[in-house]
Amino acid sequence: MNPKGYVVIREEDAQIRELLARWLREAGYLVAAPDAALEMTPALVIANVPEPHSADGLIRSLKGMYAAPILALSARFRRGLAGSVEAARRLGVEKVLPKPFTRKELLAAVRESVDA
């Protein structure tokens, strides 16, 4: 199988991190934790943002480590396209995805972020 790209997952909750990794691997992506020493440039960074209003430092840090788009996940994001677009612009990320989300929603957000 030809991998679709390398994705870094920054998620503190081990169960959610493993679920995301499984869904991504099943869809053909290579997956690693942020501290993994891989010789590849990521196509995407997926980051949990517990408090979007105070996430500036986290986002700056991720942008400093990785030259890749960022998909931010949070239970604090509102559902709906307008809210998500505005939240992504405010945070300076490619896309946001409100929790909870389905496998289909995650993979669509990943595709849109990687293809952007």
In the chain, beta strands by DSSP E: 6-10, 30-32, 44-48, 70-74, 95-98
CATH number attached to the domain at 6-115: 3.40.50.2300
pLDDT confidence of residue 1: 46
pLDDT confidence of residue 33: 67
CB 74 within 8 A of CB 99: yes
pLDDT confidence of residue 76: 75
pLDDT tens-digit map of 12-57: 999 999 999 999 999 999 997 666 645 678 999 999 998 877 888 9
Q: Residue 59's pLDDT band (boundaries 50, 70, 90)?
A: very high
**Which DSSP helix (H) or strand (E) runs through 63?**
helix 56-65
pLDDT tens-digit map of 99-115: 889 999 999 999 999 88
Domain spans, the chain: 6-115
77 has pLDDT over 80: no
Contacts of 115 (CB under 8 A, 6+ apart): none
